[in-house]
Structure 1
Amino acid sequence: MSLTTRLRFLTYSHRVATHLHHFYSTSSILSQNSSTPLSSKSKTRSALSLLKSEQNPHKILEICHAASLTPESHLDRIAFSVAISKLSESNHFDTIRQFLDDLLTSRPDLKTERFASHAIVLYGQAKMIPQAIDTFKRIHDLGIPRTVKSLNALLFACLLAKDYKELNRVYIEFPKFYEIQPNLDTFNTVIKGFSESGSTSSGYSVLAELERKSVKPNATTFGNLLAGFYKEGKFEDVGKVLKLMENHGVNRGIGTYNIRIQSLCKLKKSSEAKALMDGMLSRGMKPNSDTYSHLIHGFCKEGDLEEGKKLLKSMKSRGIQPSSDCYYSLVYFLCQGKDFDAALLIAKESMEKGWIPNFGTMKSLVEGLVGVSKVDEAREVIKQVKEKVIKNVEMWDEIEAGLPQ
């Protein structure tokens, strides 16, 4: 064998060995206690579990690479989001840029507008709008078609980052410059931006543009306007929007009622919100768990804990299953109001369903129970929490050790 051939063989062997080492080491990250290959879904679940507790940016990237995440799967999108949140919280913005750029350029399966759009949204989540815009501009150079899908992703990224000025600029300039025809999602995102930024009245001009382009508005269009006008206390405009819904033949469904009920509760007008729900019931419309969640939170925040408890009973009697938020709100506010007996009963019911209120709320409950000489009940709460959670176990051990004997 000639020297050249031997060198080629050695180089090839080194590459194979490196690839195999990388393959097995990354796979072992996700399946440390098993030699059985993991399915795609199992990989993502394992990655999510590891990401939630990992702080090291290099390990976060290793976990994501090992799971071979794609935006096709809902679970994978959650894993991407958790990874980006972790990196942005620790200010590793260069790592985020390198990670997303590498995925876009090195993985052929991700050279799609779907992934490019997802990357743009992830930049928005990290408040990296210049990078989101740069990715949108580079899409065509990467051989990826640029359509209204990526434009809407960019607008949504601005919304996530609360960069309303840039959102408006993109909406005004980009469709014309890149020859992209906006669709209903485009207009709805822009209206939501105006609503969130306290300039909901500007949404009327977007609505007019929508009509000029013969795009029919939907419940989301009007819901965004309603939420904004409620937030700004412009009740006359709320009436105008409801009339516009009627004129456009858009039904006031449960979603619209929930927006109105939540908005009134935020304004500490929970009694008015409940009257709105009563009106729904009289029209034969059935509220859902979100309706009750808004009302329970609203009444409890206003100090009417009895009404909050009544609402929980009422929804059960109507065959509506309470959501985790219903329980979390009640346990939190009952502890604040020092009604620890009621808080304990509702916390137990929540935990039976697998829903554990956050550490602060449960700590407040335990301390409250100890304060009213119910140490055994406090100890039982700690036991149940420790059986169901993996976070803060050491802190719970400390609290348990400090209980009166």
Structure 2
Amino acid sequence: MLETNQNPMAAAAAASLSTTTPGVPLFPPLISTRRTASTRVQVSPRTDSEPSSSPSSTALTVVDERTRRIARELDELKRREAKERKELRDRKVASQKAVSVILWREATKAVIDKSGRKKKGPINSKKLLPRTVLEALHERVAALRWESALKVFAFDKVQSLLSDMANHGIKPNTVTYNTLIDAFGKARKFSEMESILVEMLADRDCQPDAWTMNSTLRAFGNIGQIETMEKCYEKFQTAGIQPNVQTFNILLDSYGKAEEYKKMSAVMEYMQRYHYSWTIVTFNIMIDAFGKAGDLKQMEYLFRLMRSERIKPSCVTLCSLVRAYAHAGKPEKIGGVLRFVENSDVLLDTVFFNCLVDAYGRLRCLAEMKAVPEMMKQSGCKPDIITYRTMIKAYSFNGMDSHAKEIRELLPTVTRPSLKRDKPDF
């Protein structure tokens, strides 16, 4: 018979169980305190007052326990073997699927590259793996290869691509939408970009993030639509999307191109006030902007601040300094940049030396310009077609036709740069 002075919490839990699972007994059935000899193993030491069990009973008990233990071990072994067989079978199936997907992607990329070389126009995206199309598109957009991107992906077939992804069981996620928004923005297809953004907002499982905001702001900022960019920034903030350092770098770059230096200063103050650390990209954008504006004092202050913050200048930083000093007509300042390079471990590239050749050519420092190819060899760089064409232009402008002819004869020995950039890649 159960005792009446039970724990109140236990009683409450039992009542809850009885209400949620009808048919289940409130407590397990009472078990008799008497145990049979076949299920009991004597483990306590014997005393003189305790009756001793018979030898035959003890032997039966031991044999029964061993039999159950062996049965349990066999069951466990069978379950383990079945699990291993299932895992092996799953691995084989997964390997076959992985190999087929890899072969499909490699074949797709081969088709893309082959079609791009033959210039046969856009590729039928329905015959390609959707994820492969997005990967190829992202690679070409990131490298600013717009013509190649258009051949890989027909922008007017976005809905068809999304349908193909759904047929393959691939649901568009935030990365998918961000890739398309970034591609449309850089291709200046703003109506399509807005359409993808609206579709993204309608999908409850894919919410915009900081990358979405940055791609949208960059698209409008690069073409000088500052008001539209600012409205988009306000809408994203209202939606609860917080900006990051890259967001502020995009704002700084856009304001610098539009010569909105007061707004640039406001962004700089905001970053300092709310403890957003300036990166090398931040400094490069500001140094280039103030250098193009002819504000050498502010530019040099930012360069000193950059060094005091222990941020190592890059070739982009040095190109901005050299270009600004050339436009200001200060060749002695360019010499100071070269002395800084000699005392630092900055790795120089061909882009920097081409910028140096152009600066000396503008300043009519032709002797210094002539020495640049030798400096390139000492730094492990090779002159390219831009180097020689810049030197030819400078010699021809100053009436030094014989020097221009010598450099022109070197043109067949160099190759064109693999990627054309209209500006430094920040």
Sort the TM-score into its range (normalised by shorter chain): 0.5 to 0.7
Q: Partner residue of 1:252? A: 278
- Counterpart check, 1:118 vs 2:139: no
- Compare the two structures and name the one with the higher helix fraction: 1
Question: Which residue number in structure 2 is paired with residue 399 of structure 1?
Answer: none
**Which structure would you say has the larger Rg?**
2
Write the distance in 2 (CA, Å) between the matches of 1:232 and 1:308.
Answer: 27
Shift of 1:382: 5.4
Moved more, 343-352 or 166-175: 166-175
Q: Which residue of 2 aligns with 1:56?
A: none
Give the Cα separation in 1 of the matches to 2:288 and 2:113. 27
| Other-structure match for 1:321 | 347
CA separation of 1:337 and 1:168: change in aligned 2, threshold 3 A: same
Following the alignment from structure 2 to structure 1, what is the Cα–Cα distance between the partners of residues 249 and 416?
38
Contact 2:385–2:416 at 8 Å: present in 1 too?
no
1:3-402 alignment runs, 5 A limit: 68=106, 84=116, 92=119, 95-98=121-124, 101-102=126-127, 104=128, 111=129, 113=131, 115-121=132-138, 122=140, 125-126=146-147, 128-132=154-158, 134-176=160-202, 179-212=205-238, 214-359=240-385, 361-365=387-391, 368=395, 389-390=414-415
Question: How many percent identity over aligned positions?
Answer: 16
Q: Matches of 2:115 and 2:379 in 1, distance apart?
A: 28
CA displacement, residues 151-206 of structure 1 (integer Å, 9 cap, x when unaligned):
11111111221223432343234331585211221111111112113233444444
Offset from partner CA, 1:225-279 (integer Å, 9 cap, x none): 1111222222332233223324543211222111111222333444532232123
CA contact (8 A) 2:284 2:317 kept: yes
Q: Aligned in 2, Cα 1:239/1:169: closer, same or farther, shift over 3 Å?
A: farther
Deviations 1:368-389 (A, max 9, x none): 39965976x9759956x766x3
Provide the rounded CA distance (Å) in 2 between the counterparts of 1:161 and 1:263. 24
> How much does 1:138 deviate?
3.7
SS in 2 for 1:281: helix
Q: Distance in 2 between matches of 1:82 and 1:343?
A: 42
> Is the CA contact 2:357–2:369 (under 8 Å) kept in the aligned structure 1?
yes
Q: Structure 1 residues 329, 242: CA separation in 2 closer, same or farther (over 3 Å shift)?
A: same
Structure 1 pair 340–200 and aligned structure 2 pair: CA distance change class (3 A): same
Equivalent AA in structure 2 for residue 149 of structure 1: V
Give the deviation of 1:391 after TM superposition. 6.1
Amino acid at match of 1:231: K
Amino acid of the structure 1 residue aligned with 2:179: A
Structure 2: state its 5+ residue gaps.
Answer: 1-102, 418-426
Give 1:297 shift. Answer: 2.4
CA distance in 1, matches of 2:181, 2:323: 31
Q: Partners of 1:282 and 1:261 in 2: how far apart?
A: 15
Distance 1:69 1:309 in 2: 53
Give the structure 1 partner of residue 66 of structure 2: none
Q: Which runs of 5+ in 1 are unaligned?
A: 1-64, 105-110, 393-405
Q: Deviations over 1:204-230 (max 9, x none)?
A: 444445445554422111100111122
Contact 1:120 1:132 in 2 (8 A): no
TM-score by length of 1: 0.61
SS at match of 1:217: coil
Deviation at 1:327, TM superposition (A): 0.5
Q: Which residue of 1 aligns with 2:98?
A: none
Partner amino acid, structure 2, of 1:243: E
Taking a change above 3 Å as real, the CA distance of residues 272 and 132 of structure 1, as seen in their structure-2 partners, is: farther
Deviations 1:281-326 (A, max 9, x none): 3455443332112221232244444433431222332332323221
State the SS of the aligned residue for 1:298: helix
- In structure 2, relative to structure 1, the CA distance for the partners of 1:338 and 1:245 (3 Å cut) is closer
Cα 1:347–1:382 shift into 2, 3 Å: farther
- 1:292–1:312 CA contact under 8 A, matched in 2: no
Measure how far apart 1:280 and its partner are.
Answer: 2.7
SS of 2:259's partner is coil
Tell me the CA shift for residue 117 of structure 1. Answer: 1.9
